[in-house]
Structure 1
Amino acid sequence: MELQKNETKSLSKQALISDSSVFYRESSIENLQNDKSNVVIGDNTHIRGGLLIFKYGGKIVIGNHCYVGEGARLWSGESLTIGNNVLISHNVSIVDTDSHEINYLERAVRYKEMLSTGHWETKGSIKTNPIIIKDYAWINFGASILKGVTVGKGAIIGAGSVVTKDVPDWTIVAGNPAQIIRTISESER
Structure 2
Amino acid sequence: MKKLIKAILVWFVDKTNLHHLIEQVKEAKQVQNIQYNITNNGATFYPEAVVVNGQDKTKIAIGNNTHIRGMLSVFKYGGKISIGENCYVGDHSRIWSGESVTIGNFVQISHNVNIMDTNSHELDALERAERYVDLMQNGAWSDKGNVLTAPIVIHDYAWVSFNATILKGVTIGEGAIVGACAVVTKDVPAYTLVVGNPAKVIKTLNK
TM-score range, shorter chain: over 0.9
Question: Map of 1:1-189 to 2, 5 A cutoff?
Answer: 3-4=27-28, 6-18=29-41, 20-32=42-54, 34-185=55-206, 189=207
Larger Rg: 2
Point out where structure 1 has 5 or more consecutive residues left out of the alignment: none
- Which deviates more from structure 2 when the two are superposed, residues 109-118 or residues 41-50? 109-118
Deviation at 1:166, TM superposition (A): 0.3
Question: What corresponds to 2:13 in structure 1?
Answer: none
Deviation at 1:13, TM superposition (A): 3.8
Distance 1:35 1:85 in 2: 25
Distance 1:14 1:100 in 2: 27
Question: What corresponds to 2:17 in structure 1?
Answer: none
> 1 or 2, which has the higher helix percentage?
2
The one-letter amino acid paired with 1:93 is N
Conserved 8 A contact 1:113-1:121: no
> CA offsets per residue over residues 34-87 of structure 1, 9 Å max, x none?
421110000000000001100111000000000000000000000000000000
Point out where structure 2 has 5 or more consecutive residues left out of the alignment: 1-23
Conserved 8 A contact 1:14-1:30: no
Deviation at 1:148, TM superposition (A): 0.3
- Which deviates more from structure 2 when the two are superposed, residues 9-18 or residues 120-129? 9-18
- Which deviates more from structure 2 when the two are superposed, residues 115-124 or residues 22-31? 115-124
SS of match in other structure, 1:165: coil
Distance 1:118 1:25 in 2: 26
Question: What corresponds to 2:11 in structure 1?
Answer: none
Aligned residues between the structures: 182
RMSD: 1.3
Distance 1:101 1:12 in 2: 33
Distance 1:62 1:117 in 2: 31
* TM-score of the pair, normalised by structure 2: 0.84
The one-letter amino acid paired with 1:87 is Q
* TM-score of the pair, normalised by structure 1: 0.92
Deviation at 1:121, TM superposition (A): 3.1
SS of match in other structure, 1:181: strand
> 1 or 2, which has the higher strand percentage?
1
Conserved 8 A contact 2:165-2:184: yes
The one-letter amino acid paired with 1:25 is P
- Which deviates more from structure 2 when the two are superposed, residues 106-115 or residues 128-137? 106-115
Deviation at 1:110, TM superposition (A): 1.1
Misfit runs of 4+, over 6 Å:
none
Distance 1:78 1:112 in 2: 23
